[in-house]
């Protein structure tokens, strides 16, 4: 497990309960990742749009934390490895009643055929 190479701002809240770009475009996601630098919540690489990775590539913010209930791991896009980080300001996960994939009303019936594996 590597040490983060980028500053983590533990005091910045998440951008919202779902992927910021998917919410704006009416898209959907499988799992969520929270940028440890700015709080941006984006969808994971299994999701159709892979917004968390696009955010990391576009901003240079390399460290994300899982935004899934019960998960507190960090990932470093720079090293391609899991990382250590401090406790981030809550909320640290999406709402428990939010479906995975989600949000429920936008997930197509054939979602499992549309994801990246």
Chain segment 18-45, per-residue pLDDT in tens:
999 999 999 999 999 999 999 999 999 9
How is residue 34 written in tokens? Answer: 């929270």
Mean pLDDT over 39-62 rounds to 97
* Strand, helix or coil for residue 26: coil
What's the CA gap between 92 and 89, in Å, rounded? 7
Mean pLDDT over 95-115 rounds to 97
Output phi, psi for 2, to 5 deg: -90, 160
What's the CA gap between 43 and 2, in Å, rounded? 23
Query: How many Cβ atoms are within 10 Å of 15's Cβ, its own excluded?
Result: 18
């Amino acid at each position: 497990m590597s040490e983060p190479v980028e500053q983590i701002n533990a005091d910045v809240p998440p951008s919202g309960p779902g992927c910021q770009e998917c919410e704006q475009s009416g898209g959907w996601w499988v799992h969520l990742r929270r940028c440890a630098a700015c709080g941006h919540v984006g969808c994971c690489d299994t999701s159709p749009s892979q917004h968390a990775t696009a955010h990391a590539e576009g901003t240079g913010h390399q460290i994300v934390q899982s935004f899934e209930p019960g998960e507190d791991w960090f990932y470093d896009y720079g090293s391609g490895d899991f990382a250590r980080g401090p406790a981030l300001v809550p909320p640290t996960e999406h709402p428990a009643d939010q479906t995975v994939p989600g949000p429920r009303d936008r997930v197509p019936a054939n979602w499992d055929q549309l994801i990246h594996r």
